[in-house]
Amino acid sequence: MFPGQGSQFPGMGKDLYDKYDEAKALFRRADEILGFPLSEVMFNGTEEELRQTKITQPAIFVHSVIAAKMLGDEFRPDMLAGHSLGEFSALTAGGALAFEDGLRLVLQRALAMQRATELHPSTMAAVLGMDDETVEKILEEIPGIVVPANYNSPGQLVISGETEAVKAAAEKLKEAGARRVVMLNVGGAFHSPLMEPARKDLAEAIEKTPFKRPVAPVYQNVTALPETDPEKIKQNLIAQLTSPVRWTQTVRNMIKDGATEFYEVGPGNVLLGLLRKIDRSVTGKKAEV
């Protein structure tokens, strides 16, 4: 499992850079491709600097893919998945994308999302302690654009949309019995129809990028189902920006298909926390590099 935005932290990846020559070379290659010293910001930047979308997304991707590569022969996945941005890390670690191509797409994705957020006042909020169906029903009654964005775990659904619509939904959800609704400190309404301009930008870049079959099925955010066909993978990746991340459903499908041990590869352990809330019968571990 590969994490998405929110897993970044100051100093991320420095241990890999110091420990492995191959990691050092990949960090330097990433700086070259991006045209700015990403590794410098990762190792020495502040939380604030790391929170900028054009830094956060490449930083998490680079950290995750390098960590997977440094696992060497221990990296033998039977299935792969990534949360939102993490899907690009999963596809690259799984051999569907070259490191350079994956990184270029992630940068384009970050910049396209940034541009889309500047077009409308928009935001996201986490709804805690309410079942998904109830949240979905209430959102349908709210005027304006507000949709489910991240099905993170039972009782944790993130909503996304126009700022006023999200605020109105937050009030309605609290009245209906949600334990808490927390407004998120994000740049815009990710995984909502407001990301349509970003989806168009990214679609063009994805269509031009060579994809191969991954070494193991990748359970994609849009369908929560396993995929190995490069063309279908591309279409699902394009749809991802305007569609919800079905993480709860993804993990349940992986378990249904036989997964018993889950490893989180990359910064932080957000996904291990979600895994425990989704199903305690399986093992979750941090992949130690």
- Supply the residues annotated as catalytic: 84, 191
Helices assigned H by DSSP within the chain:
14-19, 21-34, 38-44, 47-50, 53-70, 86-93, 99-117, 132-140, 163-175, 196-208, 230-240, 247-256, 270-278
Place of tokens 């045209």: 35
Cβ-Cβ contacts under 8 Å for 127 (sequence gap 6 or more): 135, 156, 157, 158, 159, 170, 173, 178, 180, 181
The number of CA neighbours under 13 Å toward the Cβ of 34 is: 28
Listed residue (248, 264, 244) closest to 256, CA to CA: 248
SS3 (DSSP) at 117: helix
Listed residue (64, 32, 29, 27) closest to 43, CA to CA: 27
* Tokens, residue 269: 């352990």
Query: In what order do the strands lie in the sheet containing 218-219?
Result: 80-81, 218-219, 226-227
Q: Count Cβ neighbours within 10 Å for each residue of 117-126 and write b for 16 or more, e otherwise.
A: beeeebbbbb
Angle at 259 between CA 258 and CA 265, to 5 degrees: 160
The number of CA neighbours under 13 Å toward the Cβ of 280 is: 1
Please state, in angstroms and rounded to a whole number, the distance separating the CA atoms of residues 279 and 260: 10
283 forms beta bridges with: 261
